[in-house]
Amino acid sequence: MNNLNFIFNRQSVRQYTGQKVEDEKMDQLLHVAMAAPSARKKDPWRFIVLQDGEKLAKLQEILPNGPFLTEAANAIVVLGDLNEAWDNSLIYMIQDCSAAVQNIMLAAAKLELGSCWLGVQPKEERIKGVSEFFNLPKNIIPIAVIALGYPACETIFKSRYNNNFVHYNRW
């Protein structure tokens, strides 16, 4: 499966060197994000690139699942515009944004970056915290935060394939 290593080489990284992600790489990550599919091609995703140390420290306080955000030194906050989503549906928007997040994480691995998906949805206190911190308009909904940076840990690649999870032609 060598030709699919671009997928297996991604893992959740929680230790970082603190090095800034170069502008060119960040730009590439934003381009792949917007190459994801979205329901009816509504592209409701929005992104805040965060490389300001003080703001990362504040975001780290809001997100108990991201105690390494300042160490990572880079993040992308993934938001959705509920006014633009298909059917104005949070559920569609979460699927669209999740596909964009996964594209970013796979591309990050290919660019020798580490990443970690920090869930914001569906935790009310995180949604509220991120919304207030960025002073978001009501229609802009925080979905997730991606910690990004250069990994300071060894990468251990393993599949979590489970044959029990697969059915053929029937449940």
Of 138, 154, 156, 167, the one binding a copy of itself by CB under 8 A: 167
Pairing type for strands 114-119 and 74-81 reads: unpaired
Of 19, 31, 128, 153, the one binding a copy of itself by CB under 8 A: 31
C-alpha distances (whole Å) from 28 to each of 16, 107, 121 are 20, 8, 25
Task: Kindly tell me which of 1 and 154 has the beta carbon lying closer to a copy of itself.
Answer: 1
**Separation between Cα atoms, residue 81 and residue 97, nearest integer Å:** 10
Q: Does 126 bind a copy of itself (CB under 8 A)?
A: no
Of 15, 71, 82, 99, the one binding a copy of itself by CB under 8 A: 99
- Work out the number of other CB atoms within 10 angstroms of the CB of residue 69: 28
Q: Does 14 bind a copy of itself (CB under 8 A)?
A: no
Q: Does 10 bind a copy of itself (CB under 8 A)?
A: yes
C-alpha distances (whole Å) from 107 to each of 27, 91, 99, 110, 145 are 11, 25, 12, 5, 16
Both tokens of residue 51?
């490389």
Task: Kindly tell me which of 50 and 148 has the beta carbon lying closer to a copy of itself.
Answer: 50
- Work out the number of other CB atoms within 10 angstroms of the CB of residue 99: 17
- Look at residues 79, 101, 99 and name the one whose alpha carbon lies nearest to residue 39: 99
Task: Kindly tell me which of 19 and 34 has the beta carbon lying closer to a copy of itself.
Answer: 34
Site residues, a copy of itself (CB under 8 A): 1, 3-4, 6-8, 10, 12, 28, 30-32, 34-37, 39, 41, 43, 45-52, 55, 87, 89, 91-92, 94-95, 98-99, 101-103, 105-107, 110-111, 117, 119, 121-122, 134-137, 140, 144, 159-162, 165-171
